Amino acid sequence: MSDDRLIIFDTTLRDGEQSPGASMNQEEKVRIAKMLEQMRVDVIEAGFPVASPGDFEAVKAIAETVQDSTVCGLSRALDKDIEAAAEALKPAKSSRIHTFIATSPIHMKDKLRMSPDQVLEQAISAVKKARQYTNNVEFSPEDAGRSDFDFLCRVIEATIDAGATTINIPDTVGYNIPFQFGDLIKRLLETIPNSDKAIFSVHCHNDLGLAVGNSLAAVLNGARQVECTINGLGERAGNASLEEVAMAVRTRRDVFTCDTNLDTTLIVPTSKLVSSITGFPIQPNKAIVGSNAFAHESGIHQDGVLKSRETYEIMRAQDVGWTENKLIMGKHSGRAALKDSLEKLGISFETEEELSAAFRRFKELADKKHEIFEEDLLVIASETTTDSADENYRLISSFVCSETGEAPVAKVVVNVEGEERTGEASGGGPVDAVYKAIASVIPMETSLELYSVNNITSGTDSLGEVSVRLEREGHVVSGQGADTDIVLASANAYIDALNKFTLDLNREHPQHSGV
């Protein structure tokens, strides 16, 4: 690997999915993985196969589908984890096993209850075990950012000797400061005698808002892989955001001696896809992918940009995939036009049935709103690939009556595990009434943690995209629905979230259970 290549390791589907409420089903994960592959992400961390049968199957499905990126599976430094990862990754054209164990004093003592020597031994044997299945093995000393430097050097030297080809330095708790983290990478590379035998990677969390800063400081000091996520999703405050890291190195070629292989024009569509699947909205002022990232409000700025774009813009909006809110299709557009428009957005369907379902949904929508924009197509595509086979609950119909001076009333018909049930309720508003009516036929104790509505395009006939987050017995899930009728969108979002509770509740968390 030449020095001028920065490897992008995307962990949206693993660390990103560890964001409370961001769990995704298999179809959604495959869809995101395909988009990442198209964007030319080098390594896709597809999940933690030992966590649950659902995680295992999702990693396997991604391994079967993705051809051009390396597919990676996470494992603790345990034989059963490594075996599960190896098995799930079997179909992959190119695979990597990522194994980790904590090396900081606090994690070893309080979490693992192991001595440093035991941790060292376990790290070596995990890497050796992983090498039995693939010659592409990544090792992470978890919480490296708070580990003792000399011990870290011992573990890294030994794991490279044992066969690790990538050494990933995680700032697991987002504690480091850029100058310090950059210096850590430099000293590790200089001190460890066999450091030239592995690629050094970094994995930074954003607890102090420094994940991207720390990652870039590491790159300036010799790291050649960055682990990151779309929209900065991830455990707690998230991980370094892929789009920010990628655009920083590309825009500042005067500072960085390396660049990624990414097709950055797919950044915005991928960001929107991840946001719509997870229900995590993108803040308008988010760098690169926020709706205001290239908007100029002040007259002076607008005037400057009109005279010369470079006065206030350091990147071109189209280079990261922003397009004008283009009207691309109308009521009379046909199936081939839909296919073509979706392909231009980087979306292709596996089967003709999926395309037919998307076309039906497009026709329904075109009847309601006449003008269909790119944003609408992204929503249609996202709905189309949602796997209805996994659904225990499905809304059949809803009726809501809201009249001045009267409490709104709702009646819903829901398919509950194959049986049609009717529920009625009144509420403080139409959405409240419909939620109560649904709750009356799906008795599941949950609490609503978030309810938000976003318009997909402008105009009162826009699709309203509703996201809800529900909590039940410590588990948090999110659900999404989109419709020109926001009460219907709200009902579908609620049912989508309830369905997710029935999937995979007993997953293991990679970092909660010690070795």
Residue ranges that bind ligand KIV, judged by CB under 6 A = 15, 100, 140, 142, 170, 172, 203, 205, 510
Residue 215 CB, nearest distance to Zn ion (Å)?
12
Residue 511 CB, nearest distance to ligand KIV (Å)?
6
* Count, residues near Zn ion per rule CB under 5 A: 1
Q: Which partner in Zn ion, ligand KIV, none is near 510 (CB below 5 to 8 A by kind)?
A: ligand KIV
Six-digit token string for 363? 């026709």
Residue 451 CB, nearest distance to ligand KIV (Å)?
30
Q: Which partner in Zn ion, ligand KIV, none is near 142 (CB below 5 to 8 A by kind)?
A: ligand KIV
Site string for Zn ion, 121-150 (x = CB under 5 A): ------------------------------
3-state secondary structure of 257: coil
Residue 239 CB, nearest distance to Zn ion (Å)?
6
Cα 457 to chain centroid, rounded = 23
Query: Nearer to Zn ion by C-beta: 112 or 488?
Result: 112
- Which one of the spans 8-16, 99-107, 279-287, 468-476 is the region binding Zn ion (CB under 5 A)? 8-16
| Position with the least CB separation from Zn ion | 15
Residue 232 CB, nearest distance to ligand KIV (Å)?
14
Residue 513 CB, nearest distance to ligand KIV (Å)?
13
Query: Nearer to ligand KIV by C-beta: 60 or 205?
Result: 205
3-state secondary structure of 439: helix
- Which one of the spans 10-18, 152-160, 294-302, 453-461 is the region binding Zn ion (CB under 5 A)? 10-18
Cα 296 to chain centroid, rounded = 29
* DSSP conformation letters of 92-105: -SSEEEEEEEE-SH
Six-digit token string for 17? 């999915």
Q: Which partner in Zn ion, ligand KIV, none is near 391 (CB below 5 to 8 A by kind)?
A: none
Residue 203 CB, nearest distance to ligand KIV (Å)?
5
Label the pairing between strands 327-330 and 371-373: antiparallel
Cα 265 to chain centroid, rounded = 18
Listed residue (43, 46, 36) closest to 9, CA to CA? 43
Cα–Cα dist 43/249, whole Å: 18
Listed residue (509, 464, 512, 515) closest to 52, CA to CA? 509
Query: Nearer to Zn ion by C-beta: 74 or 468?
Result: 74
Listed residue (277, 273, 263, 213) closest to 241, CA to CA? 213
Query: Nearer to ligand KIV by C-beta: 252 or 509?
Result: 509
E strands, 444-511, in order: 447-455, 464-472, 475-483
Per residue, the 3-state secondary structure of 212-244, as one string, reads HHHHHHHHHCCCCEEEEEHHHCCCCCCECEHHH
Query: Nearer to ligand KIV by C-beta: 11 or 385?
Result: 11
Query: Nearer to ligand KIV by C-beta: 27 or 142?
Result: 142
Residue 205 CB, nearest distance to ligand KIV (Å)?
6
Query: Nearer to Zn ion by C-beta: 168 or 275?
Result: 168
Listed residue (233, 223, 303, 329) closest to 273, CA to CA? 233
Listed residue (214, 215, 206) closest to 234, CA to CA? 206
Query: Nearer to ligand KIV by C-beta: 107 or 272?
Result: 107
Q: Are 482 and 383 in contact (CB under 8 A)?
A: yes
* DSSP conformation letters of 10-62: E-TTTTGGGSTT----HHHHHHHHHHHHHTT-SEEEEE-GGG-HHHHHHHHHH
Residue 175 CB, nearest distance to Zn ion (Å)?
13
Q: Which partner in ligand KIV, Zn ion, none is near 140 (CB below 5 to 8 A by kind)?
A: ligand KIV
Q: Which partner in Zn ion, ligand KIV, none is near 45 (CB below 5 to 8 A by kind)?
A: none
Query: Nearer to Zn ion by C-beta: 15 or 27?
Result: 15
Q: Applying CB under 5 A, which of residues 10, 12, 14, 15 lies at the interface with Zn ion?
A: 15
Q: Could you list the residues that contact Zn ion (CB under 5 A)?
A: 15
